[in-house]
Structure 1
Amino acid sequence: MKFIVIPRKVLKRLVDILGALVGLIILSPVMLVVAVVVYVSMGPPVLFKQERAGLNGRPFMLYKFRTMLDLRDEHGNLLPDEKRLTRVGRFLRNWSLDELPQFWNVLKGDMSLVGPRPLPTRYLPRYNEFQMRRHEVKPGITGWTQVKGRNSLSWDEKFKLDVWYVDHWSILLDLYIIVLTIWKVLKHEGISADGHVTMPEFKGDEA
């Protein structure tokens, strides 16, 4: 009797599609409520869209529920995150509800359920060769870095964990990370860096 061996990258994609579909179907009532709350509390748009770096650094449009107001100074520059993050936005971030629209990114193939978190494309020229390796796999809704400390970690620590995942990923590791992510979300761990409501911008090794 011959067994069909499915390449692990194909299997990972199948798990992504199934997981994203189940997530969108089961959590659609929650997403509808979140969308209404965001619209009522902050007004349109409900979704935050930003170009992020995906597999091999290719850009894609990431979707999240909006958590911040578009407040700017007299020169048109955005105010710091702590002045724009709303009470509703803080709640959404505490429970990772702002990330739910990324199931659509997974379904489209831009992201995976598990992988290094997608960062803004403006960071690409700032990476060294080692840090750039995080783009050898698709970015994820959650990842090894998220379950090991998330935004409480330094950029150096996060990049080392990202590259460790690139070198060691497997379906079993992905399932372990997904289970651990649920536990971390319930405990509200690692949501922000010390002294910041989110994570300070990555300026590169020489910054």
Structure 2
Amino acid sequence: MRWPTAKRATDVVLAALALVALAPLMLVVAVAVAFALGRPVLFRQSRAGLGGQPFTVLKFRSMREADPLRGIFTDADRLTPFGRFLRSTSLDELPSLWNVLRGEMSIVGPRPLPVAYLPRYTEHQARRHEVRPGITGLAQVCGRNSLSWEAKFALDVEYVEDMSFGMDLRIICATVGVVLRRDGISAAGEATAAEFKGTRVVADV
């Protein structure tokens, strides 16, 4: 069986086992989010999946609601110490296991990004949508948000071209180290990462 076919079956098994094993932890996180940030506990946003098709990604909330009256506008304003902890430990990603189980995501693959980014990719960068997006990926273990968008997308396409069982296994193992070290959580000068506004393409003269 070719890996792209076996990969989906593996995703289903791993996601189901993880959801059962991590259910107590997810309950604790959900209660903590409700206490620290209020409801809703889950963050939902439309993201681009396989073939650029939109789906609703699920995460634990890590930010307060914007409140202009209190001067809360930017991500930096909205991201609390508790939210930073959730992001740095990747605990906010646990609900995405449901997306994996539903077939919208994979355990390993390019990170799902906002649908609004779709027209901003170059033709080469858009190849990242040839596979299901993942909870973790090659870019996440090679620098995460410390990388430029162009570097992330280059790694995403590299994954698309070289995807294999061995690569997925190496990425999963490397993810453990990245999470424990809390590497690359934020881009320089950003609470998370700057918005991707497109890559400037310089025409040949």
Q: Is the 8 A contact 2:150 2:199 kept in 1?
A: no
Q: 1:84 maps to which residue? A: 78
- After superposition, the C-alpha distances for 1:183-205 in whole angstroms (9 at most, x for unaligned) are 11001001110111100000012
Structure 2 counterpart of 1:148, one-letter code = C
Which residue of 1 is the match for residue 29 of structure 2?
34
Secondary structure of the corresponding residue to residue 68 of structure 2: coil
Equivalent residue, structure 2, for 1:3: none
User: Is the partner of 1:164 in helix, strand or coil?
Assistant: helix
User: Quick one: distance in 1 between partners of 2:200 and 2:151?
Assistant: 16
* AA partner of residue 94 (structure 2): L
Residue segments in structure 1 that go unaligned for 5+ positions in a row? 1-5
Counterparts of 1:29-178 in structure 2 under 5 Å?
29-73=24-68, 79-178=73-172
Aligned-partner SS, 1:40: helix
Secondary structure class of the residue paired with 1:45: coil
* Secondary structure of the corresponding residue to residue 202 of structure 1: coil
Q: Percent identity?
A: 56
Residue matched to 1:184: 178
Which of structure 1's runs of 4+ aligned residues deviate more than 4 A?
none
SS of alignment partner, residue 124 of structure 2? helix
Q: Deviations over 1:37-78 (max 9, x none)?
A: 00011110000000000001000000000000111436xx97
Partners in 1 of 2:162 and 2:199 — Cα distance?
A: 25
Describe the superposition over 1:72-97 as per-residue Cα deviations: whole angstroms up to 9, x where unpaired.
Answer: 436xx971111000121111011000
TM-score with structure 1 setting the length: 0.93
2:155 and 2:2 map into 1 onto residues whose CA distance is: 24
- Indicate the residue corresponding to 2:6 in structure 1: 11
Note the alpha carbon deviations across 1:6-53, whole angstroms, 9 max, x for none.
232221011101110111011111100000000011110000000000
Q: Quick one: distance in 1 between partners of 2:161 and 2:132?
A: 13
Q: Which residue identity lines up with residue 82 of structure 2 in the other structure?
A: V
Tell me by how many angstroms 1:175 deviates.
0.9
CA distance in 1, matches of 2:2, 2:72: 46
Q: How far 1:128 sits from its partner (Å)?
A: 1.0
Q: Pairwise CA RMSD of aligned residues?
A: 1.5
Q: Deviations over 1:102-146 (max 9, x none)?
A: 000000000000000000000001111011010000000000000
Normalising by structure 2, we get a TM-score of: 0.94
Q: 2: CA distance between counterparts of 1:95 and 1:177?
A: 17
